[in-house]
Amino acid sequence: MTGPVNSIKRLLGSTARTMLRPFQTALSRYPHVRAYFFDTMYGPFAISAGPESFVVSTSDGVIGRELYARYEFDLDKFGVAQKLLGRNLSDCVFVDVGANVGSICLPLVKRHYVGSAIAIEPEPLNFRLLSANLWINDVADKVKCHNVAVGAESGSIQFELSNSNFGDHRVSISTEAGAFDEQSRNKISVRMETLDSLLPEELDHELFLWVDTQGYEGFVLQGAVRLMSKKVPLVVEFWPYGMERAKSFEPFLTAVSSAGYTLFYDLEAPSKAGKNADRESLVQFYEELKKQDRWTDLLFT
């Protein structure tokens, strides 16, 4: 009887799925419902079916979840930056440092907001998903990928991995207990290069630099002396907790002041006037964010 019983179960299951499919399709129009579907998945990967298709890990409860539920992650900040710059960026080369699975650079290239991109992502799984996403969206020929970390010098470094937020993998600096259980994270060895060595000098005048490295930004900019001397448009994550843990705030201040940027804009609360990009203003802003226990992204011009 086992055979007939299993056949009946399969038939009933198939019938139920067929009957529920219209309701599931209707409900899936809502981001919070898609987020629920994501949270209840059993497989290792999911495919986001928005304007761009993203293969994401179901273990990534932040960027992967947002891409599946809302089809985008932080993409609106590029629009804010472009408006503040007051220029068309469709011919620029977008340099995405900490590219993750392509959440920023992929849609920018596919929607022709930028001409091409250079994506830099050190973590192996993120890099494989990034590569796959570029191919399935037919933009692989417009995005050059580098599976390395970037910092102040070339070499090999330890990289710590978050189990639940694949956008929070970081260069490992401190072994002390932290707010995100950093002391318990698995670590891998990855290669590090400098941006000045990685990026061809002939492209400097065409670049838009976008840096999101979870507090390591000061050292990333230290390795981009040539690039920053051209004062390329720069968007950089500004997270006091991460910078303090990585001890990168002082290198950040030095790099920005040496490059000669004059203004910065908070992309979470942009003002047309901007703020002076001097040491005093940046320290004050750093302390404000630290007290509020928050982070933002800054545009430097």
pLDDT for position 178: 94
- The amino acid sitting at 185 is R
Q: How do 186-193 and 207-211 pair as beta strands?
A: unpaired
Whether residue 42 is found in the same domain as residue 144: no
172 with 111, same domain: the answer is yes
| Same domain, residue pair 129 and 43 | no
> Residue 27's pLDDT is what?
56
- Same-domain pairing of 190 and 57: no
Report residues of the chain scoring pLDDT below 50: 9
- Per the structure, how many domains does the chain have? 2
Last residue in a domain, options 50, 70, 90: 70
* Residue that has been written with the tokens 């059993």 in this structure: 42
Single pTM value for the model: 0.90
One domain for residues 53 and 88: no
Nearest to 103 by CA among 56, 61, 135: 56
In this prediction, residue 9 carries a pLDDT of 47
What pLDDT is recorded for position 93? 97
For residue 28, what pLDDT is reported? 67
Smallest Cα–Cα separation from 199: which of 184, 175, 220? 220
C-alpha span between 101 and 123 (Å, rounded):
10
Q: Are residues 109 and 163 in the same domain?
A: yes
Q: Phi and psi (nearest 5°) for 169?
A: -65, 140
Pair (194, 54) in one structural domain = no
CA angle 259, 211, 251 (to 5 degrees): 45
CA-to-CA distance for 70 and 64, rounded, in angstroms?
10
Maximum alpha-carbon separation in the chain? 80
First to last CA, the chain: 75
Question: Are residue 213 and residue 263 in the same domain, yes or no?
Answer: yes
Q: Is 201 exposed, middle or buried (0-12, 13-18, 19+ CB in 10 A)?
A: exposed
Burial (CB count within 10 angstroms: exposed 0-12, middle 13-18, buried 19+), residue 178 = middle
What pLDDT score was predicted for residue 4?
58
Range of the domain at 106: 76-300
For residue 229, give the nearest of 250, 266, 201 by alpha carbon.
201
CA distances to 85, 92, 104 from 198, rounded to whole Å, are: 26, 17, 20
Tally: H helices and E strands in the chain = 12, 14
- What phi, psi does 221 have (nearest 5°)? -70, -30
Looking up residue 137, the CATH number of its domain turns out to be: 3.40.50.150
Q: Cα separation of 152 and 192, whole Å?
A: 9
Q: List the beta bridge partners of residue 266.
A: 298
Question: Which sign, positive or negative, has the C-alpha torsion 57, 63, 65, 69?
Answer: negative
The DSSP result for 135-184, as a single string, is HHTT-GGGEEEE-SEE-SS-EEEEEEE-SS-TT--EE----S--TT-GGG
Same domain, 59 and 204: no
Sort strands 149-150 and 143-146 into parallel, antiparallel or unpaired.
unpaired
| 107 and 241 share one domain | yes
Co-location of 184 and 226 in the same domain: yes
Q: For residues 196 and 99, state if they share a domain.
A: yes
Residue at which a domain ends, from 35, 70, 105: 70
Q: Which of 70, 87, 113 finishes a domain?
A: 70
